[in-house]
Amino acid sequence: MSYSSSTDIRRNASPFLYGDEASSVARVLESGQYGHTDVTEEFERRLAHYLRVPDAVAVTSGTAALHTALVAAGVQPGAEVIVPSMTFCATVQTILAVGATPRFIDIDATTLCVTPDLIKEAITDATTAVMPVLFGGRAIDLTPIREDLAHRGITVIEDAAHAFGSRNPDGTGFVGSDNSVLTCFSFGAIKNLTCGQGGAVIPRTPDEAHTLRRLRLLGIEQSQSERAETTTYQVGGFGLRYPLSALNAAIGLAQLDHFDETAVTRRRLWRAYRTALSGLRDVPLIDVGADRAVPHLCQIRVPRRDEVFAHLRKAHIGVGVHYPPNHLQPAFAPWSRSLPATEQAGEEILSLPFHQHLTEADIALVVHALRAALEATTITPQA
């Protein structure tokens, strides 16, 4: 069977547009104002309204969100930040950007997420922050160690790049609604909600929101609207240039109008994969907690992953690997340590095509090709 005619299964991910994005961007272009404008501020208000939180601070990317969150939390050079190795390298790079030290920890093999016990075991006197990664969209319950972290003055900064729209573990609110946690989202091109490029931080307090807004615009104190009414501005402290443009915010506003539909579609497609994969032996599907998550990835674990990957790519199936473990990367070698579950996952995880362009027929074709790849690598897939 040939798969070369299906563009949807040839790619691992692709932005999904609803048709309103072009007109939303066109209005910004016609205005002649393309930087941080009232369109950006409207996007922030709409984000906060959707998540049912008091505020949201939009920035240029998920990486910028993590960076500004670390700075706002007061993470200093020489401090230690606990972080899973199983994440995109951007998470770790932001720790290095503030001069802190990453302390890599292992993951739960079934979820690819950290656990409270793994975090607790890694805490040292130098630990200033912990950055759990909500892998694939799955929220993490830190209730068992929440009080201990607060007592030690350790800030929790959630890397929720995969998890916009997912529910907290107790189901009572969205990820980002816990006001004891700094939550960081990404709105990159292939995220569940896209701005083309963008991100946001959900602050814990009004003062923290003010700090984040100052940080994202070179330390300037005044808001966009306030600066329009004055002849000068005041630089109140250290800052970066991370404001989200109105063009990107316009895309995000159009996406927000349809996000409930996005959530339903992504859950339906993930469950379709779960059903289609149920007939394959020894090919576990990574559990994202789809009843509460808005899944971002659909991943399996397979023996001889690289061979299976090659067979699927040859069959024009857009598989990927998310992610090569960071503690094994040359750039992060000084902080490497033994992480058995992460290292095994790094050899076995395989991301299947997963995006809203897919149909259930596409999913059936992917699983058919996967079965053929398993057979070709002498892995018997029969249940």
The reply to whether 156 and 245 lie within a common domain is yes
Do 183 and 225 belong to one domain? yes
280 in the same domain as 213 = no
State percent of the chain over pLDDT 70.
93
pLDDT at 274 over 90: yes
314 is catalytic: no
Lowest mean pLDDT among 4-8, 19-23, 186-190, 214-218: 4-8
Query: Which residue is catalytic, options 36, 162, 191, 216?
Result: 191
3-state SS class at 353: coil
Identify whether residues 285 and 210 lie together within a single domain.
no
The pLDDT score that the predictor gives to residue 244 is 98
* Last residue in a domain, options 234, 256, 278: 256
- In angstroms, rounded to a whole number, what is the distance separating the alpha carbons of residues 28 and 37? 10
pLDDT tens, residue by residue, 322-372: 999 999 999 999 999 999 999 999 999 999 999 999 999 999 999 999 999
CATH of the domain at 172: 3.40.640.10
In a domain, 233, yes or no: yes
| Model confidence band, residue 3 (pLDDT cutoffs 50, 70, 90) | very low
pLDDT of residue 1: 30
Task: Give ∠ CA 354-189-365 in degrees, rounded to 5.
Answer: 20
Within a domain: residue 13? Answer: no
Instruction: Supply the pLDDT for residue 5.
Output: 38
Nearest to 71 by CA among 100, 108, 101, 92: 100
Residue 267 and residue 252 share a domain: no
Q: Strand, helix or coil at 318?
A: coil
Q: Is the pLDDT of residue 225 over 70?
A: no
- Residue 224 clears pLDDT 90, i.e. is over it: no
In this structure, the number of other CB atoms found within 10 A of the CB of residue 42 comes to: 15
- Which of 256, 278, 294 terminates a domain? The answer is 256
Q: What's the number of domains the chain is made of?
A: 2
Mean pLDDT of 185-197: 96
The burial of 65, by beta-carbon neighbours within 10 Å (0-12 exposed, 13-18 middle, 19 or more buried), is given as: buried
Flag whether 3 is in a domain: no
Q: Which pair of tokens denotes residue 123? A: 């805490």
Residue 166 has pLDDT above 60, yes or no: yes
What is the per-residue pLDDT for 282? 84
Q: Rounded distance, CA 348 to CA 292, Å?
A: 26
CA distance 106 to 339: 5
Greatest CA span in the chain, whole angstroms?
73
What's the chain's length in residues? 383
Mean pLDDT computed over 132-143: 97
53 and 148, same domain (yes or no): yes
Q: What is the mean pLDDT of the chain?
A: 93
Q: How remote is the C-alpha of 111 from its chain's centroid?
A: 15
9 falls within a domain? no
| Domain coverage including residue 227 | 21-256
CATH of the domain at 312: 3.90.1150.10
Are 210 and 275 part of one and the same domain?
A: no
- Do 113 and 224 lie in one domain? The reply is yes
In a shared domain, residues 27 and 114:
yes
pLDDT digits (tens, 9 = 90+) for 200-220: 999 999 999 999 999 999 999
Question: Per the domain annotation, does 16 fall within a domain?
Answer: no
Is 171's pLDDT higher than 90? Answer: no
Is pLDDT above 60 for 6? no
Give the mean model confidence (pLDDT) for residues 289-299.
95
Tell me the per-residue pLDDT of 22-43, one tens digit each, with 9 for 90 and over.
999 999 999 999 999 999 999 9
217/297 same-domain check: no
The conformational region for residue 137 under phi > 0 = left, psi -120 to 50 = alpha, else beta, is left
Q: Could you give the residue ranges of the DSSP H alpha helices within the chain? A: 7-10, 21-31, 38-51, 62-72, 89-97, 116-122, 143-152, 206-216, 224-228, 246-256, 259-277, 305-314, 340-348, 360-376
252 and 303 part of one domain: no
The pLDDT of residue 15: 81
Residues 180 and 305 in one domain: no
Q: How far is CA 180 from CA 13, 63, 303, in A?
A: 33, 21, 40
- Looking at residues 106-129, what average pLDDT do you find? 98
- Domain end call among 229, 256, 283: 256
What is 195-229 written as a DSSP string?
Answer: -SS-EEEE-SSHHHHHHHHHHHBTTB-S-HHHHHT
Indicate whether 383 belongs to any domain. Answer: no
